[in-house]
């Protein structure tokens, strides 16, 4: 069965004051229908830039330098602006990080949902309004008939995020990209949003790309995960396999940084682990070396001089580390 989405050797370059930097460097991945794939990594590793590339929304200073993004066999890197507008919000949708800046404060939430339906589904005003109420109900907003006339500022952060999910799912897209969908929400609301995404994904058969820092959400929601570092794929594999047997020092560090509830109940609890150092500057992206070497306790001379190959393990797990078999 052909992949719904296939990214091959994607390289995205960004113009900076220090020159052109490859913010995404030789990324390849596949996404099947109904599958949930998670991107994990620190801020600045390229997760959101990958999502923007898939949506055809790269900033003016960015461009796809090479590679392809195949959606149902169609290369989106070669698609016209008109074609991308047809796909965005209809076949591929995205939930952005901050709903307060993504929603228009001058229009009711019902009107903003209805706009998508009129644009892509050719519904009339009455039918689009009725469908907007159905969608608000589907994302579990109480009393949707009354709330459809509310403006964004009249809703809580969690409710605004649910409206964004309703807009993203209005046209039953084949792929839903959720970019840090629970940013700035309290932990209870975060859990509700993740539960909602998981349930809606199962009900609609929509494939989900989840971008998050939350390893707990990854373990709960995703079948596969990609660990990104400095614009490159550090590790990929089934979630259970990667979490239980990480094959890259960076992945191991990220997992070790997650606090364990039971450990906090003992007086002799261990100190919380950390990944030392910071992500390299954009001007260092693209170097022929392991970009994690400066932060890695296993690094040797060749790590600082040569880019490591991607090593394949069983269960479709891969790791871009010279010492992946020893991690």
pLDDT tens by residue, 125-146: 999 999 999 999 999 999 999 9
Continuous H helices in 98-186: 99-102, 109-121, 125-138, 144-147, 157-169
Looking at the predicted structure, is the pLDDT value of residue 230 above 60?
Answer: yes
pLDDT above 70 coverage of the chain, percent: 95
Phi, psi of 201 (to 5 degrees): -60, -40
Grouping H, G, I as helix, E, B as strand and the rest as coil, residue 135 is helix
Residue 281's nearest CA partner among 228, 215, 209, 230 is 230
pLDDT tens by residue, 309-321: 999 998 899 999 9
User: Counting Cβ atoms within 10 Å, is residue 145 exposed (0-12), middle (13-18) or buried (19+)?
Assistant: exposed
Q: How far apart are the first and last CA of the chain?
A: 34
Domains of the chain in start order, with CATH, are: 5-88+223-326 (3.40.50.300)
- Going by their DSSP bridges, the two strands 36-40 and 224-229 should be labelled as parallel
pLDDT given for residue 283 in this prediction: 87
pLDDT given for residue 266 in this prediction: 57
Mean pLDDT (the chain) is 90
Residue 170's nearest CA partner among 209, 222, 118 is 118
* Residue 104 β-bridge partners: none
Looking at the predicted structure, is the pLDDT value of residue 203 above 90?
Answer: no
Cα angle at 297 between 293 and 298, to 5 degrees?
A: 75
Looking at the predicted structure, is the pLDDT value of residue 268 above 80?
Answer: no
Crossing angle of helices 109-121 and 157-169, in 10° steps, is: 10
Please compute the mean of the pLDDT values over residues 270-296 and round it to a whole number.
Answer: 88
């Amino acid at each position: 069965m052909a992949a719904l989405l296939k990214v091959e050797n994607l390289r995205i370059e960004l113009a900076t004051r220090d020159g052109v930097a490859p913010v995404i460097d030789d990324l390849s991945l596949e996404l099947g229908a109904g599958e949930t794939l998670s991107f994990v990594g620190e801020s600045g590793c390229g997760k959101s830039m990958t999502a923007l590339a898939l949506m055809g929304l790269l900033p003016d200073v960015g461009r796809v330098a090479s590679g392809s993004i195949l959606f149902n066999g169609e290369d989106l890197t070669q698609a016209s602006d008109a074609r991308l507008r047809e796909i965005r919000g209809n076949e591929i949708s995205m939930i952005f990080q901050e709903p307060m800046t993504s929603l228009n404060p001058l229009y009711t939430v019902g009107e903003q949902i209805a706009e998508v339906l009129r644009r892509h589904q050719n519904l009339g005003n009455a039918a689009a309004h009725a469908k907007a109420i159905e969608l608000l109900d589907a994302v579990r907003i109480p009393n949707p008939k009354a709330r459809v006339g509310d403006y964004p500022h009249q809703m809580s952060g969690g409710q605004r995020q649910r409206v964004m999910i309703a807009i993203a799912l209005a046209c039953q897209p084949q792929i839903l990209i959720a970019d840090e969908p629970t940013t700035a929400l309290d932990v209870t609301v975060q859990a509700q949003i993740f539960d909602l995404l998981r349930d809606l994904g199962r009900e609609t058969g929509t494939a989900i790309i989840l971008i998050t820092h939350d390893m707990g959400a990854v373990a709960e929601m995703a079948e596969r995960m990609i660990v990104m570092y400095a614009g490159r794929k550090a590790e990929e594999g089934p979630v259970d396999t990667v979490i239980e047997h990480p094959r890259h020092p960076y992945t191991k560090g990220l997992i070790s940084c997650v606090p364990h509830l039971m450990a906090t109940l003992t007086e002799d609890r261990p100190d919380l682990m950390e990944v030392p150092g910071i992500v390299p500057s954009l001007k260092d992206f693209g170097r022929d070396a392991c970009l994690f070497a400066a932060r890695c306790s296993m690094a040797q001379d060749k790590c600082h001089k040569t880019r490591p190959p991607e090593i394949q393990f069983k269960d479709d797990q891969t790791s871009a580390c010279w010492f992946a078999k020893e991690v």
